[in-house]
């Protein structure tokens, strides 16, 4: 089957998984990945599968070199994440992880916007459960925020798609030509790619996911967005600058982070910045670079999240202020982590070196000097935070004599396999370059490139060495753009909930007081009438003020003479008769 | 410590500049203003690293860093 939609395999897997015996569920997740891989290598470029729906032909599977490149890395990462999370016995995580991988593949192979939207929404919801599955107060709250942000993005996407359909009459997912519809769609894509200022959700939610769940989270949502941008908005100049600024933005915020996985989350933003920038440049070289960087990034970022996840699993801690001195107990994890760290920093012979440089080379070829410098600055910050600072404060620095839980073998195997792939791509780049959408005319291992990269890395290391003693992790959080919906949420809560409740309360208290007054008056109407008359008289005559309340009802004291009642009734009768007579 | 640092840094810088002059300058196809500065990426790496460290710290201390209970402390409605 050369056009089979891979998402179906994962969806069938997710449906079957809960009915299987518990002990084979982890293995089943791997089998699903392997089955998907078999279908994937049989896909042919140019093949597509259409499906009639209402008045439209939906293209549920469109295979070309761009979608295949992303398809490969998604299936591989799904497998590696499954190996790493083999010990997980939580059916919720297993089912939602399968759905998450499947829906990401669904987006990547979607040939029309309706299919895209369908899988886009599944992706948002299934990933949400990987956060909630940690079952802490923080993860619950972060999950709700994640849901609301992505619901907003999904709505923008749907609005954009409907507008696009109305304007062009076509649902095909191809390059967009501008106009209001495409800006709405761009907004939704940029939100998922975490382009500042739409980035707040990512470092807010990813550190709150489960140990294995965050490995999946780090890989899919943002890279699906990179794919969607490359398909729909390649060559958009806005993206060049957004991407370059984003790369530095992530690095600066990462340096301030205290939670290890939050630091890594900020580096997702930074690394996705390179890809967005490459997509924005839009030349074959740059789009190849963005794709290659996404491919390499998914693997090494997954590896880094696995490393910090293992530390979290073993010690129950992830903050640099609470970690330190783990080298003796957790040195194998450090080795795997450093493979990821060297890859993301672009050290020669590791995968980042051969992919990141393609994006920078793409910028050089277009003579974008400022972009080249910004991207190199981001490289410096990446090596500083992930290559030096985070491992220093986790495995060395102050020894806090932390107790460590034994780590399951599957986690080590998962990290080992991912490390092997990172090194394989770094040593033999053709492995990656053969998968890219356009033919590659680029050689990363040239003398000038090696010398420049080594200068950059060594002098970053020297600068770190110089100030290392003065650096210390700080137990703080950093305000980011999520402030704009977290802080005013309290104001909104006060305006729409607290103040409304208080208004109702005040009205209730007032009416209760009125009722109490009526009860008192009803118990002694004549007494109140007499007192009121006396009061009026006293006020008019300006004499001394009498007691305001009448004494308790006493039939002897407050008995109204019968004659007065008869007089009132007679007067009333006269009025009624006169009324009748006159009108 | 300081002495070791200076010696190492200067030694590496000299090697880098020699390599830049001998190898890189003949090979670079795209010319930027910095393409002719030997050892440019050494300086850029060193100063860039310090700029990120101190830039981030300034931003953090004067504006962005808050206590860990910043968002939680007014959460009495739970």
Residue A291 lies in a domain: yes
Residue B56 contacts residue A255 (beta carbons within 8 Å): yes
Q: pTM of the prediction?
A: 0.89
Residue A312 lies in a domain: yes
Give pLDDT tens digits along chain A (583 positions).
688 899 999 999 999 999 999 999 999 999 999 999 999 999 988 888 888 888 888 999 999 999 999 999 999 999 999 999 999 999 999 999 999 999 999 999 999 999 999 999 999 999 999 999 999 999 999 999 999 999 999 999 999 999 999 999 889 999 998 788 999 999 999 999 999 999 999 999 999 999 999 999 999 999 999 999 999 999 999 999 999 999 999 999 999 999 999 999 999 999 999 999 999 999 999 999 999 999 999 999 999 999 999 999 999 999 999 999 999 999 999 999 999 999 999 999 999 999 999 999 999 999 999 999 999 999 999 999 999 999 999 999 888 888 999 999 999 999 999 999 999 999 999 999 999 999 998 999 998 889 999 999 999 999 999 888 888 888 999 999 999 988 888 888 889 999 999 999 999 999 999 999 899 888 888 788 877 887 787 777 777 666 666 777 777 777 777 888 899 999 999 999 999 888 7
| Assigned domain for B69 exists | no
Residues A409 and A300 in one domain: yes
Say whether both A470 and A425 belong to one domain: yes
Same domain, A507 and A444: no
Nearest CA in chain B to A258: B68
Number of A:B CB contacts under 8 A?
135
Q: Indicate the angle between helix axes A113-132 and A137-168, nearest 10 degrees.
A: 180
User: How far apart, in whole angstroms, are the C-alpha atoms of residue A29 and residue A10?
Assistant: 9
Q: What is the DSSP string of A381-426?
A: HHIIIIIIIHHHHHHSSS------PPPPHHHHHHHHHHHHHHHHHH
The token pair at A255 is: 């340096």
Residues A119 and A259 in one domain: no
A304 and A256 in a common domain: yes
Interchain proximity B60–A256, CB inside 8 Å: yes
Residue A331 CB-half CA count within 13 A: 2
ipTM of predicted complex: 0.92
Q: What are phi and psi of A59, to 5 degrees?
A: -100, 90
Q: Are residues A56 and A100 in the same domain?
A: yes
A80 and A419 Cβ atoms separated by less than 8 Å: no
Residue B41 lies in a domain: yes
A487 and A470, same domain (yes or no): no
The DSSP H or E segment spanning B65 is strand B65-67
Chain A, residues 314-373, CB within 8 A of chain B, namely: 364-365, 367, 369, 372-373
Position A537 in a domain: no
Q: Which domain holds residue A103?
A: 1-152+191-208
Are residues A273 and A142 part of one domain? Answer: no
| Nearest CB partner across the interface for B41, out of A365, A456, A479 | A456
| Domain that residue B22 falls in | 2-28+36-64
The CB density around residue A39, as the number of other CB atoms within 10 Å, is: 18
Q: Is residue B27 within 8 Å of residue A446, measured between CB atoms?
A: yes
How many domains is chain B partitioned into structurally? 1
Examine the domain organization and report whether A486 and A467 are in the same domain. Answer: no
Do A371 and A512 belong together in one domain? no
Does residue B71 belong to the interface with chain A, where contact is any CB pair within 8 Å? Answer: yes
What distance in Å separates the CA atoms of residue A107 and residue A130, rounded to the nearest whole number?
A: 19
Confirm or reject contact between A443 and chain B (CB < 8 A). Answer: no
Are B49 and A373 within 8 A, CB to CB?
A: no
How many domains, chain A? 3
Q: Are residues A381 and A497 in the same domain?
A: no
Residue A171 lies in a domain: no
């Amino acid at each position: 089957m050369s056009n089979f939609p891979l998402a179906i395999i994962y969806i069938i897997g997710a449906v079957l998984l809960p009915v299987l015996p518990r002990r084979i569920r982890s293995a089943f997740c791997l089998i699903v990945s392997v089955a998907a891989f078999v279908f994937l290598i049989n896909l042919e470029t140019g093949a597509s599968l259409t499906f009639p729906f209402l008045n439209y032909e939906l293209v549920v599977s469109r295979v070309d070199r761009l979608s295949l490149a992303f398809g490969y890395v998604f299936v591989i990462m799904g497998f590696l994440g499954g190996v790493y999370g083999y010990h997980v016995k939580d059916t919720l995580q297993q089912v939602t992880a399968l759905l998450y991988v499947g829906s990401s593949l669904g987006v990547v192979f979607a040939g029309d916007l309706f299919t895209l939207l369908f899988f886009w929404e599944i992706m948002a919801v299934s990933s949400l459960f990987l956060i909630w599955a940690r079952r802490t107060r923080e993860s619950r709250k972060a999950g709700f925020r994640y849901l609301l942000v992505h619901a907003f993005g999904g709505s923008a996407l749907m609005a954009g798609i409907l507008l696009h359909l109305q304007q062009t009459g076509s649902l095909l997912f191809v390059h967009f030509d501008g106009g209001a519809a495409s800006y709405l769609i761009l907004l939704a894509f940029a939100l998922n790619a975490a382009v500042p200022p739409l980035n707040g959700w990512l470092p807010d939610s990813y550190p709150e996911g489960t140990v294995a769940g965050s490995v999946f989270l780090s890989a899919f949502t943002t890279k699906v967005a990179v794919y969607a941008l490359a398909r729909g908005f390649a060559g958009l100049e806005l993206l060049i600058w957004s991407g370059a600024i984003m790369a530095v933005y992530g690095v600066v915020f990462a340096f301030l982070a205290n939670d290890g996985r939050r630091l890594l989350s900020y580096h997702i933003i930074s690394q996705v910045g390179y890809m967005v920038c490459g997509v924005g440049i839009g030349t074959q070289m740059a789009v190849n670079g963005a794709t290659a960087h996404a491919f390499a990034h998914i693997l090494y970022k997954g590896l880094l999240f696995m490393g910090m996840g293992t530390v979290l699993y073993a010690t129950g801690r992830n903050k640099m202020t609470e970690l330190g001195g783990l080298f003796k107990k957790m040195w194998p994890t450090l080795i795997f982590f450093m493979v990821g760290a060297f890859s993301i920093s672009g050290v020669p012979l590791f995968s980042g070196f051969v992919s990141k440089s393609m994006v920078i080379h793409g910028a050089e070829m277009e003579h974008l000097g400022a972009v080249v410098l910004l991207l190199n600055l981001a490289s410096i910050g990446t090596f500083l935070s992930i290559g030096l600072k985070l491992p220093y404060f986790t495995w060395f620095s102050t020894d806090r004599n932390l107790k460590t839980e034994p780590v399951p073998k599957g986690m080590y195997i998962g990290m080992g396999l991912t490390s092997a792939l990172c090194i394989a791509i770094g040593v033999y780049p053709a492995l990656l370059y053969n998968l890219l959408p356009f033919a590659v005319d680029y050689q990363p291992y040239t003398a000038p490139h090696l010398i420049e990269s080594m200068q950059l890395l060594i002098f970053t290391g020297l600068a770190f060495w110089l100030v290392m003693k003065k650096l210390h992790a700080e137990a703080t959080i950093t305000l980011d753009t999520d402030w704009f919906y977290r802080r005013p949420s309290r104001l909104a809560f006060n305006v729409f909930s607290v103040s409304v409740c208080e208004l109702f309360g005040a009205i209730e208290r007032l009416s209760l007081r009125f009722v109490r007054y009526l009860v008192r008056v009803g118990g002694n109407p004549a007494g109140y009438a007499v007192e009121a008359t006396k009061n009026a008289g006293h006020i008019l005559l300006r004499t001394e003020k009498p007691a305001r309340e009448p004494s308790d009802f006493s039939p002897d004291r407050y008995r109204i003479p019968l004659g007065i009642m008869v007089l009132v009734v007679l007067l009333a009768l006269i009025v009624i008769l006169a009324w009748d007579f006159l009108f | 410590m300081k002495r070791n640092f200076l010696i190492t840094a200067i030694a590496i810088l000299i090697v880098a500049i020699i390599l830049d002059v001998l190898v890189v300058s003949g090979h670079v196809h795209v010319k930027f203003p910095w393409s002719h500065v030997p050892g440019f990426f050494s300086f850029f790496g060193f100063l860039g690293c310090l700029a990120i460290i101190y830039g981030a710290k300034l931003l953090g201390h004067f504006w962005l860093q808050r206590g860990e209970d910043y968002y939680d402390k007014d959460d009495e409605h739970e």
